[in-house]
Every structure is written in C-alpha cells, then in structure tokens.
Structure 1
Amino acid sequence: MSQNREERISRTGPWVLDTRELGQRAGNSRSYSRQAPAPAGFGLDMIKVPEGEPVRLELLAESVVEGVLVSGTASADLVGECARCLDPISEEIEVEFRELFAYPDSATDTSTDEDEVARVVDDLIDLEPVVRDAMLLSLPTSPLCSPDCPGLCSGCGAKWAELGSDHTHETIDPRWAALKERFGGTEEEN
C-alpha cells in the first residue's frame, strides 16, 4: 500500500472508524451513527454534494474472519442543475453500501490484488472512498427538475415551459434560400 494512502488513513476524523473498539474476534459488531463533511469533488458535473455539507452515516461494523464488514446507509443533500432547462435542483440522496476491509496478513492478501479489496490500516478504516463510490454510482448523469421537463428552445434558448404552444422559428432550407432572395416571400405569399 502506498505511503500516502497509509498517512491518510492514520488520521482520525468522522470518515475514519477505529476497529480496536470492535476487536478482531469474529462475530463482534458495533453500530455507528455519525456525520462527516463532504470533501471536494463529491459528485458529478451537474449534480453533487456541496463541499463541507454533512453526509449522514448509519453503519454496522462486523468483525469477520478476514477483516471488518461495514454495511449501512449514507444520505446527503444534493445541489445541481437540470440537464434540459438548467433550473437549479436540490434533492436528497440515500445509498446503501457494504464493503469488506481486510486485515493485514489475512488470506485476502494472497488471493487479491492490493487495490481490489479495501484494507484495515493500523486498526483504522477510511470510509470516504466507499461512500463516495456508492454515491457517485447512484447519481444521475443527466439530472432533471422533473421527468417531463421540456427543456430549452434550440432556436432562441427560452424555456419551453414558459413559451406558448404556437412558438416557432422559421427555418429555410439553405437550398431554397436563393429562390426566396430572388423572388421574395414564401410560396404562400406569392
């Protein structure tokens, strides 16, 4: 494991679980309820959890033979903009996750790659990458303010929801533009 990753886990904070409270005896479990501030980049381009906003965690940590199994839910408030009309969006997200954090020198070390399974480092577990991945996979890539959002008019950029049903933009096929220029008006007018 890289030195940078170990230094990051060795700190304490709301994203870090200390497994010494749980013990390494299989069958032990402990529940946690906490809030952690969202780090930068906790989302996608059009929707995200704002940096510093609380991510609410309800966790169950269970000691198993190979490590610590952490399962639970994470919820947070999202902000973003509609992919069709660009109106602001705010909603709540709640995701479930389950992750095994392997003990050092367990059979998992020999049967998996280093980055394939999360690890317990110095009796600490960093939950941030697991929660971030679960949330990112649950976020819509094109969020909408409502499922039937009509979006924007491609001709003028106004919101279709605010335009009348008779709103149109006259478009002339470029092949006919020369005839209109020469004779003026449209066929109906002549």
Structure 2
Amino acid sequence: MLIKVQELVTRQEPVQLQGTLDTKEIFRNSPEYNPLGPLEFDVNARAADDRILVSGQISCSVGMQCSRCLDPIEEKIDIPFEEQFRIVEDGNVEMNADDEAVPITGERIDLAPFLAEELVVQLPYAPLCKEDCKGLCPKCGTNWNEQSCGCDTVVVDPRLAALQDWFKPQQE
C-alpha cells in the first residue's frame, strides 16, 4: 500500500487507507508467534507543511504460548498507529535530534514495513494466558492452574543452607 506524496500534498485532503497485509513473511523467523490471520489496517494520511502524518489503527490475531504454563493462547492485538514522514529534497537530509519524522525523498511511501514493524514491536514479550497464571511445577511439570502437586518447591540458597536448622526446636 503506497501513498503518493505529490498527490496528497496537492490535494490537501486526508486519504483513508484500509486493507490487509500478509503476515507470513513478518513471522517467518519467529517460531514463538503464529499469525492466525492477516494484519488489518485502517489509517488516514494527510499533508501538513513539509510532513505527511499517518494515523489510525492496526490489528492482527496471533497465536502464542503462555510463558508460565505453556498453554496455547489466541489473542487479537489492536494497536494505535502513528507515523510522521518529512519531505526532503534529494541529498538534503539533515537530521535534527528532536525530529522523530522519517525523511522521505521519493514520490511514494510504502507503509507496509512501518505497519509490520509496529505490530512486531507491540507483541507481548512474555505472553500470559491470564494475569494470575500459576505456571508449572519446576520439579514434576504439573500445571498449577489445573491441579496442585505435592512437590517441595522451597529452594534454599546453598550459602544459607547451614542456617536452615537454626530455628528448629531442639530435641533432648
């Protein structure tokens, strides 16, 4: 999906872009995330001075594994999208440290890489099936969300192990 820069600047009216992007290429090297559908976008592009402002919403359904109990999760991720592009002359790309706009020199802007990047950045780093997921027992692997186990999961720091008997009542 391309934005024609000159057409947008001369028109002086926002352009609405809606559609989908194939997510197979985005998640090709990411085995922990499985796309369940295309990336859907609904964005508006408008010209303002020497800038192109793009804003809207993107969403995608993604399959993942809970980072605590390893159960599969299907989550629809809705993300607000905003990006600024600054129109510059060829070879006159001076970057200001405070300027967050992406410099563009061509006649067209391909939004696909920017939309894909925003989706990948917003994916949960450690997805959870639910906020209070209890996880798995480190000894026997029982899912604590489904049942409890009788394993002793108290871990004593080996440097302090000699002190663990300190407060036990002494038998005579």
What is the CA–CA distance in structure 2 between the aligned matches of 1:119 and 1:20, rounded to whole Å? 12
Aligned ranges 1:164-179 → 2 under 5 Å: 164=148, 167-170=149-152
- Does the aligned pair in 2 maintain the 1:26–1:64 contact within 8 Å? no
1:29-81: CA deviations, max 9, x gaps? 11111111125344996853528x31111010101211311111111101110
SS in structure 2 at match of 1:25: helix
Q: Structure 1 residues 62 and 79, CA, compared in 2 at 3 Å: closer, same or farther?
A: same
Partner of 1:79: 63
Is the CA contact (8 Å cut-off) linking 1:46 and 1:81 kept in structure 2?
no
Per the alignment, residue 88 of structure 1 pairs with 72
Q: TM-score by structure 1 length?
A: 0.67
Report SS of the residue matched to 1:63.
Answer: strand
Change (3 A) 1:77 1:131: same
CA distance in 1, matches of 2:70, 2:115: 27
Whether the 8 Å contact between 2:52 and 2:86 is mirrored in structure 1 is: yes
Q: Which amino acid aligns with 2:25?
A: A
Is 1:48 equivalent to 2:25 in the alignment?
Answer: no
Residues 139, 153 of structure 2: 8 Å contact kept: no
> Which runs of 5 or more residues in structure 2 are unaligned?
163-172
For the structure 1 residues 46 and 98, does the alpha-carbon distance in structure 2 shift closer, same or farther, using more than 3 Å as the test?
A: same
For 1:109, what is the secondary structure of its paired residue?
Answer: coil
Aligned CA RMSD, in angstroms, stands at 3.4
One-letter code aligned to 1:136: V
The one-letter code of the counterpart of 1:36 is: L
- Post-superposition offset of 1:118: 2.2
Equivalent residue, structure 1, for 2:2: 17
Matching residue's letter, 2:3: D
Q: For residues 46 and 160 of structure 1, do their structure 2 counterparts lie closer, same or farther at Cα, with a shift above 3 Å needed? A: farther
Residues of 2 paired with 1:171 and 1:63: CA distance? 60
Q: 1:150 aligns with which of 131, 134, 147?
A: 134
Distance 1:139 1:23, change over 3 A: closer
Alpha-carbon distance in 1 for matches of 2:25, 2:52: 27
* Ranges in structure 1 where 5+ consecutive residues have no aligned partner: 1-15, 177-190
Look up the equivalent residue of 2:74 and give its one-letter code. S
Local SS of the residue matching 1:125: strand
Are residues 1:59 and 2:47 paired? no
Overall identity of the aligned pairs, in %: 28
User: Any idea what the Cα deviations from partners look like across 1:97-122, whole Å, max 9, x if unmatched?
Assistant: 1111122319x832438xx6324353
Distance 2:55 2:109 in 1: 13
Q: Is the 8 A contact 2:26 2:116 kept in 1?
A: no
One-letter amino acid of the counterpart of residue 52, structure 2: V
